[in-house]
Every structure is written in structure tokens, then in C-alpha cells.
Amino acid sequence: MLKEPRACLGLRESRISRGKALGGTSAIGNLMYIGGLPEDYDENGFVQWDGSIFRDIFMHLEDYTGSEQSYYGHGKGGLLHFEDAVYNESAKDMLEVHYIKVGSKRMPKRHSLGMISHFLMTKNGERYNMAKVFLTPIKDRPNLFFSKNTLVESIQISEPVDKRATGVNVSINGIRLSLRARKEVILAAGPINNPKLLLLSGIGERGYLDKLKLPYKAYMPAVGKYLQMHVALPIYVSLNRTCPTCEPEVYNETTLYQDTFEYILQRKGRFTHTGVNNFVNYILTKKTGTTLPNLSVQHMYFRIEDRNLLAWLEAMDYHPKIAGRLLSVNKLNPMMMFLVTLIHPLSRGELNLNETHLLGDPSIKGAIFSDEESSDFDTILSGFNYITNLTTVMDDLAAEFMDIDIPNCRNYKFCSMRLVELLFHILFTVTV
């Protein structure tokens, strides 16, 4: 991603994760199964594909083996297996108790606000990604072929009248080939590579394609535009090391070995789930004329000297000073991270081809907080205030909002409005 003026500045490098594997991002995601709400599909602009149609499709695909039902219920016997998260972690109970104190409730059926424990896409203690769901059952079909180490470089477009997709141009281990389609070409490369491939194939705004000396095939000026970044603000809170509900024991090498052997031998234990991460609170912090949430709050709990914290910080690529501060606190205290995520961003970014190397990673302008009325910024700020209020009722746990030593912010009073704005420098994107 290109450098953002108001976000992601606390990261050494702004990146968007992509699942370069069979199954795509389901091979690297947080395991949660979230089917969405009917309203999410009603707003996609296609009347023929509204929420009721998607609900019927999901019911046909799903294979839920548990007893808990949410919203319209779930299907059984399909390919898409998911199940209840089975773990005993008192941090979740602690969160629920304190959320209730600030007005949140367990999410009722057919409602969209409140606390919920999402199902996990796991089976027999292992990640159950989309490749296992849909490709494994048909892998022995004689007319199905997989090509590894293959990069699609462009889509073949017929000329001059119908402009149909007739095949793809690929590179397999550096050898370029043209593959022809007998029936149709399905473009399913994700929100980053889909527009990249369309532009490389000559589908987009003509002036832009001419500038890059790409052959023009079809006029679609919106290709690469209107990119939605669902940004997230991590808020770190330290807890009393002796709090009775926080499992404050030190997570040392012995515990790590025990967890590892338990998983290898029995496919059980801490490595089979994501802890409190699947426990999510959906909140509405602004009057919008709807009962749909505008923010979600996910959680990560780190025990004292938790090895998972270092892995998390390395994955997020935080500035060394921020990472050092968090690791220092975790030597003595457990920590809870509240991940406040913007559900319906109004800001729109764009994707352009890499002008130096067209086949390279595209140039992405997130344009975070660029909407004219600053609604996205105000919404995230309201989420910050919500968590601040929550910590005030967590006094029994000695909850303390952490000053994480953001670079270039030391001259501002802790929790002043200016420092809060600078706190948004550690924002990162979770989905696009």
C-alpha cells in the first residue's frame, strides 16, 4: 500500500495479506465462519441476488454439526463444515460480564447487535479451508486439473464484436502458454488480482490503458476504483497479574511443549482454536436510522510472557518502539487487545498497476479516512471512546489503557485528543 497520511504510520510497512495458496485467504484467516446478514446482500445492487437467495444457497452448502442456531439457522449435510469453538478460557467470561455493565447483551436470534461467539471452520482439530471444502471432494475427477507455480498474466478477449473471454495467458514455472477455454473463463482471483488482471487484459479506462501501452479491449472505467478498506484499530489494555478471572499464569516453554504435544498426538488443546478471538461484540455507536452495527470488536488475550504476542507483533510489523513497549508490559502483566473494526467504510481507495513492472504487485491507495464528512474517522473514534468507557468498569481487574509509545507522539498528553488521533497511526487493514 502507498503511504497513508492519517493511518498505518505506526507500521514499518503497510501491506495487505493475500492467501497465495489453494483456498485463498481461508488458508491464513482467523478461522471464523461469518455468513453475513441479509441486508449485506440486499445492498449489492443486484435484485436477483438478494439476502433470501444467499440464505438458501448457504443452507444448501453448510454442514453445521452443533446445536446452537443463529439468525435464520444453519444447514446440515453440505460441504461447508463448521462447528462450535470448544475451549475453556475464562477471559471470555470476564469480557462478557464487563460488556453487560456498559449495556451490551448476548446477541438474540435474528438480531445483529450484541455479543456472539462465532463458529470456527475447523474439523478434527484442523483448519478446514475452502480448498478442503470444495476441491478435495472432486480432486480425482478426470477432467479436473490443477497447475501449481502458475501465474495468470492476462485474459484472452475475442475481437472485434462480442468481446468474450476465450482463455487465459499463463506462466508456468517461467514458461508462457496460452490456454483456450471451451466454455467459459471464471475470474476468481480476489479483490486485488481481479482488477489487476482486468487492466492487464485491456479492460478499464482507455486513457489509463493507453498511457501504459496496454491493448484496449473494453471500456470499464470503474475497474480498480471504489476499493473499500475495512480498517481496524488495536487498543491494548493491561490487566492485574493477580486478577481471578484472567488466567494469569506465565506462558512458558513448558506450557508451549505441553500444548504442542497435545495437539500433535490428540488434535486437542489451545492450538485447535483462536482463544477469545471468535468472541465478537457488534456495536452501534452512532444514530444511523438502522439497527445494523457500524463497528465490531474482536479480542486477543495474551498471558504473561505470552509467546503469541511476539508472533502477533511480527505479523503486524509494528514499529520497534511500539513492539518493545508491549513486550515489556507483558513480562509482568497479562494484556487484552480490543480490535475495533469499521464495518461499513465510506472512504474509497483505488488500485493501479505497477508502472515499473506491470506484472508485479499493484500500487494500492487505501485513501483511509478520505470521505468528505469524515464519517469513517468519527466512527472509529466512537469505538475508541466505547472501549475507554469499558475500561472504567474493569477496575476490579486494574485494567489500564496502555501508552504504547507511538513514535513522534511523546510531546502530547496521554489520552488527549491529539494523541488519540496519532493512535490511529497503528491502524491496519483487515479486509478489502
Confirm whether 87-117+227-431 and 142-219 share one CATH topology. no
Residue 262: what pLDDT?
Answer: 93
**74 falls in which pLDDT band (50, 70, 90)?**
confident
Asked whether 122 and 273 are in contact (CB, 8 A), the reply is yes
- Asked whether the whole model's pTM tops 0.95, one would answer no
pLDDT for residue 6 is more than 80: no
The torsion defined by the Cα of 285, 291, 296 and 298, in degrees rounded to 10, comes to 110
Inform me whether the pLDDT recorded for 47 exceeds 80: no
Sequence spans of domains, the chain:
87-117+227-431, 142-219
* 94: DSSP letter: H
Q: Return the pLDDT at 247.
A: 58
Q: What are phi and psi of 121, to 5 degrees?
A: -85, 75
- Provide the CATH topology of domain 87-117+227-431: Glucose Oxidase; domain 3 (3.30.560)
What's the whole-number mean pLDDT along residues 332-348? 92
Binding annotation for FAD: 25, 152
Q: Please check whether residue 173 is in contact with residue 228, taking contact to mean a CB–CB distance below 8 angstroms.
A: no
Q: What is the mean pLDDT of residues 358-366?
A: 88
CATH superfamily of 142-219: FAD/NAD(P)-binding domain (3.50.50.60)
Contact criterion met (CB below 8 Å) for 291 and 283? no
Contact 11, 319 (CB under 8 A): yes
Q: Please state, in angstroms and rounded to a whole number, the distance separating the CA atoms of residues 272 and 323.
A: 26
**Element holding 203 (H helix, E strand):** strand 203-204
Contacts of 125 (CB under 8 A, 6+ apart): 263, 266, 267, 268, 271, 272
Note the pLDDT of residue 335: 93
**pLDDT tens per residue, range 155-179:** 999 876 688 999 999 999 989 999 9
Residue pair 268/254 in contact by the 8 Å Cβ criterion: no
More confident residue, 73 or 198: 198
Q: Are 198 and 353 in contact (CB under 8 A)?
A: no
Q: Which of 45-54, 206-215, 349-358 has the highest mean pLDDT?
A: 206-215
Q: What is the pLDDT of residue 121?
A: 93
| Average pLDDT value over all residues in the chain | 84
Give binding residues as ranges.
Answer: 25, 152
Q: How far apart are CA 82 and CA 65, in angstroms?
A: 7
User: String of b and e for 281-305 (b: at least 16 CB within 10 Å)?
Assistant: bbbbbeeeeeeebbbbbbbbbbbbb
| Spatial CA neighbour of 170 closest among 359, 364, 410 | 359
User: For 106-119, what is each residue's pLDDT tens digit?
Assistant: 987 767 899 999 99
Place of cell 479480542: 299
Q: What is the pLDDT of residue 185?
A: 94
The mean pLDDT of 17-37, rounded to a whole number, is: 85
Distance, in Å, from the CA atom of 128 to the CA atom of 309, rounded to the nearest integer, reads 24
57 CA to centre of own chain: 23
